[in-house]
Amino acid sequence: MDLTVVSTYRCNSKCQMCYIWQNPTDPKEEVSIETLSKLPGGFDNLNVSGGEPTLRKDLMEVIDVLYPKAKITEISSNGLHPERLVPIIKKYPKLKVRFSLEGREINSNRIRGEKDGFQTKVKGLQMLKDAGGQDLGFALTIQDENVDDLVWLYEFARDMGVELATSTLHNAWQFHKNDNYFYDRVSVARKVEGLITAMLKTNNVKNWFRAYLNLGLIKKILGQDRLIKCTAGSDFIFIDPWSDVWACNVRTDLPMGNLAKQSWQEILDSDVARKSREKVAQCRQNCWMVTTARTAMRSNIIPMFPKLQPLFWVLENKIKTTLGMDIAFDRYIDYGNVGTSPRVERTSFLNQTFKAKLQKAADPHYVQGEFFNR
Ligand code: SF4
């Protein structure tokens, strides 16, 4: 099972596609070390995210508690305070760290509302490499504004000796945003094909399966059904900063419990959790985030291996790229079946001031209404 711990909703970026930064939590109310200690061991991937986790003064203690509980522990950071991660990396060199970067310098800074963000992250990741970090990389959210930088960033990361993870625009309660729509779905999707081909041309098995993850992103971008059914609530669980436990980070109607008030086992066995899993089985959203996509790709019998569907796709297309043949994307993707959506402009907050509104535990949360990811 994979787990994401959203350690805080405080954030020092001002992204145009995620409004967590407009809705910060009160540090006094954020999930405590004591609460996190209640989690059992044995998770596959455990992601500490935010908001921006480096804004938590006790991040080292958070990692001290969580690191032994998972095969892979990851920090998803905006990378604006790399120096705060150096002592953590020195203690845990195998810790996975991903810095959000949205393409070339001007583009990335504009999309993320970060003055000098690009330079800080690039130097910062190198700083973590020098400190002994072994699993470092960037993470990019594919959107109309940066899709032309996609292959460039992939090659930039490869030249630095680090990874590139990709996701794409989603509407989700986690982002406090329900109006992220592509301006030109087909154009964006076609450009992702270039990244898939580049990944399959490498000799890195992980990249081949990342290529399949990106195939799923194309379907998401076009508004089509997921490649593989979602298993949220069973193979993937999400804890928000108020210790509330959710089956996923998209729908607001999939609660499972609260880790501060219940034990982990009580939460998993609860009626609330069972009802949420039933809804997941019927879910018609086609979101495809790395968390739920990665878990869905795993074999039910031997979780360290992929399901047959991604395995055969990877084998077939790895052979094709090795032989210099083109991948027939239209065999896998129906470009004649493209969802319609309103055009809602995204605005850069780079040069804007905006007063964030503190969200208290007693306030009503996630009131953005229904979410559509089609
Ligand atoms: S497919 Fe449904 S249940 Fe799965 S992550 Fe998306 S919204 Fe949640």
Residue 370 has pLDDT above 80, yes or no: no
340: CA distance to ligand 1 center in Å?
Answer: 20
* Apex 317 CA angle, 314 and 323, nearest 5: 135
Supply the pLDDT for residue 190: 97
| 217 CB near ligand 1 (under 6 Å) | no
Whole-number Å distance between alpha carbons of 290 and 340: 24
Which among 167, 164, 95 has a CA at the least distance from the CA of 135? 95
Supply the pLDDT for residue 373: 85
Per DSSP bridges, beta strands 2-6 and 135-142 are unpaired
285: CA distance to ligand 1 center in Å?
Answer: 6
What's the number of CA atoms in the CB half-sphere (13 Å) around residue 353?
Answer: 1
Whole-number Å distance between alpha carbons of 312 and 316: 6
In angstroms and rounded to an integer, the radius of gyration of the C-alpha atoms of the chain is: 20
Residue bearing the CA closest to ligand 1, atom 4: 230
Supply the pLDDT for residue 303: 77
Mean pLDDT over residues 26-41, rounded? 98
Whole-number Å distance between alpha carbons of 49 and 78: 10
| 228 CB near ligand 1 (under 6 Å) | no
Residue 10 has pLDDT above 90, yes or no: yes
Please write the tens of the pLDDT for every residue from 80-94: 999 999 999 999 999
Banded model confidence at residue 184, pLDDT cuts 50, 70, 90: very high
Banded model confidence at residue 26, pLDDT cuts 50, 70, 90: very high
**Segment among 109-113, 241-245, 350-354 with least mean pLDDT:** 350-354
CB 292 within 8 A of CB 167: no
Supply the pLDDT for residue 160: 96
Mean pLDDT, all residues of the chain: 94
| 172 CB near ligand 1 (under 6 Å) | no
Supply the pLDDT for residue 194: 95
Supply the pLDDT for residue 368: 74
Please write the tens of the pLDDT for every residue from 280-302: 999 988 899 988 888 889 888 88
Supply the pLDDT for residue 111: 97
For tokens 């998401």, the residue is 220
CB 249 within 8 A of CB 295: no
The encoded tokens of residue 89 equal 């990396």
Supply the pLDDT for residue 170: 94
Supply the pLDDT for residue 217: 96
Give the three-state DSSP class for 165: strand
228: CA distance to ligand 1 center in Å?
Answer: 11
Residue 260 has pLDDT above 90, yes or no: yes
Please write the tens of the pLDDT for every residue from 198-238: 999 999 999 999 999 999 999 999 999 999 889 999 999 99
77: CA distance to ligand 1 center in Å?
Answer: 23
The angle, 0 to 180 degrees and rounded to 10, between the axes of the packed helices 150-160 and 117-130 is 30
